[in-house]
Structure formats: C-alpha cells, structure tokens
Amino acid sequence: MDMQFNTTKRRYKKFEPRIHVWKLKKEQTCEEYKSMVRDKVVEEEWKHLDVNEHWHKMKKIMMETAQHICGMSKGPSRHKETWWWNEEVAEAVREKKMKYRK
C-alpha cells in the first residue's frame, strides 16, 4: 500500500502599499482632506457622464487625495503591534526577568 501526499509550497503574498487612512481620524488632517476633495470635485467636468464613469472619477479623486494627504506604507511592518501590551504588562515582564536572573 503506497501513500502519497500532495504538498504545495506556501506562496508569500507580494506586498502592496496601502494608504494610511487611519490618519484621517485627526481633525486637522480630515479637514485638509475634505477641502482638497471639494476643490478637485469643483474643478472636474461632470456633465455627460454615466453612473459608472462618475463613480470611477469620484473614486480616483478620493484615492489620490488620500494618498497625497495621508501617505502610503513603504513595506510590510517589521514589528507587529499588540493591542494588549501596556505598561502593566511591561512591568510584569521586567519583574519576571529579574526573578529569573536571581
């Protein structure tokens, strides 16, 4: 009885830069973004467009503005941040290491 296992190589995803949209939570950045989008929308020619063309043009304006205001990521994050790490946890780890050394 022969056993055969099908194995596949794990392929890594190619990094895709992303827009730092979390920066829009800051009020100043958000206002700057809104005013820039408004200005670009006013400048554009919107007549004689069907719904899809209108949507694509609006999406392009919003994405380009967000990219300009917020910036893009340069590479995959090297250090994953943890939501649970705080001063209390850091102190407990320091204390544990001190006791281990003794």
Residue 81 in any domain: the answer is no
User: Residue 77 is encoded by which pair of tokens?
Assistant: 């994050």
pLDDT value of residue 17:
87
What gap in Å lies between CA 71 and CA 34, rounded to an integer? 16
Q: For residue 89, is it within any domain?
A: no
List the domain range (segments joined by +) for residue 27. Answer: 16-76
Give the pLDDT score at 74: 84
Handedness of CA 78, 81, 86, 89 (dihedral sign): negative
State yes or no: pLDDT of 1 exceeds 70.
no
- CA–CA gap between residue 49 and residue 46 (Å, rounded): 6
The pLDDT assigned to 92 comes to 93
Tokens for 81? 């941040």
Residue 86: both structure tokens together: 């705080």
In a domain, 21, yes or no: yes
List, for residues 24-78, the tens digit of each pLDDT value.
999 999 999 999 999 999 998 888 889 999 999 999 999 999 999 999 988 777 7
Model confidence, pTM: 0.60
Tally of structural domains, the chain: 1
pLDDT for residue 96 is more than 70: yes
